[in-house]
Amino acid sequence: MNPLVAPSVLASDFANLQREIEMLNASEADWIHVDVMDGRFVPNISFGMPVVKAIKKHARKPLDVHLMIVEPDRYLQDFKEAGADSLTVHWEACPHLHRTVQTIHELGCRAGVALNPHTPVDGLEWILPDLDLVLVMSVNPGFGGQAFIDASYRKIARLRELIQRVGSRAVIEVDGGVSPDNASRLVEVGVDVLVAGSVVFKAHDPQATIATLKQAGRK
Ligand code: DX5
Ligand code: ZN
């Protein structure tokens, strides 16, 4: 099975966002990954609802919104209204994660939970049956263009086992430092969705890079 590919617009040219989204529409990308950062959960600020809305206006693929923000419950409805198809919140930012996931589902979005590199996968056991997606951060969240953390391979393999054991439908998404060099190994250990920012948007031919990622894991 080919992985899904979700290019992260964080690395795109914001002054030409419409052109960048049209490039993704015409590519083999499956989802458009949208990184929201608040300067509190992570040490960087990206953009908020108005930009998500602007992306939605041109996107012909689902918006995969990754909320790197504290108290995400306060903004779930706003992001849904801005055009999110899936909403991923951070495990570390949600004391009442079950309720947060319920709210995301009530809004009609796919619900995802993201784990920082140090966060164990075992903490997901009781919420996994309710999730559509688990996002494994393979860099510390906050910035594009960082080096992939090698421990992520074992972590993903462990998560794959846990998902099977509890019988969850959740797909595994990996985010941070993903490139054609590590994509096949990631798919082999259990990844379903590859997020890639800088490797796509800094490429000479972004659509060709997306096509290469799409072939990851195929023998
Ligand atoms: C990082 C973001 C990522 C980022 C990935 O905090 O969650 O989605 O855009 O960028 P690359 O692929 O450059 O590591
Ligand atoms: Zn992300």
- CA atoms of 187 and 3, how far apart (whole Å): 7
Residue 150: Cβ-neighbour burial (10 angstroms; 0-12, 13-18, 19+):
exposed
8-state DSSP, 202: T
Strands 63-68 and 32-37: parallel
Looking at the predicted structure, is the pLDDT value of residue 105 above 70? yes
Contacts of 150 (CB under 8 A, 6+ apart): none
pLDDT of residue 1: 81
Contacts of 219 (CB under 8 A, 6+ apart): none
Contacts of 127 (CB under 8 A, 6+ apart): 97, 98, 101, 113
pLDDT of residue 72: 98
Convert the pLDDT of each residue in 156-204 to its tens digit: 999 999 999 999 999 999 999 999 999 999 999 999 999 999 999 999 9
Q: Is 175 designated active site?
A: yes
pLDDT of residue 66: 99
Residue 35: Cβ-neighbour burial (10 angstroms; 0-12, 13-18, 19+):
buried
- Find the mean pLDDT for residues 117-124: 97
Ligand 1 atom having least distance to the Cα of 142: 6
Length of the chain, in residues: 219
Q: Do 60 and 25 meet the contact criterion of CB atoms below 8 Å apart?
A: yes
In the chain the domains, ranked by start, together with CATH numbers, are 4-214 (3.20.20.70)
- On whether 8 is known to bind a ligand per the annotation, the reply is yes
Convert the pLDDT of each residue in 27-68 to its tens digit: 999 999 999 999 999 999 999 999 999 999 999 999 999 999
Ligand 1 within 6 A of CB of 35: yes
Site to substitute for ligand 1 among 9, 10, 67, most atoms within 8 A of C-beta: 10
Convert the pLDDT of each residue in 79-101 to its tens digit: 999 999 999 999 999 999 999 99
Site to substitute for ligand 1 among 12, 20, 35, most atoms within 8 A of C-beta: 35
pLDDT of residue 218: 77
Looking at the predicted structure, is the pLDDT value of residue 219 above 70? no
Convert the pLDDT of each residue in 108-119 to its tens digit: 999 999 999 999
Task: Look up the pTM and report it.
Answer: 0.98
Does 219 or 167 have the greater pLDDT score? 167
pLDDT of residue 132: 98
Q: How far is the CA of 204 from the centre of ligand 2 (A)?
A: 22
**ipTM exceeding the 0.95 mark:** yes
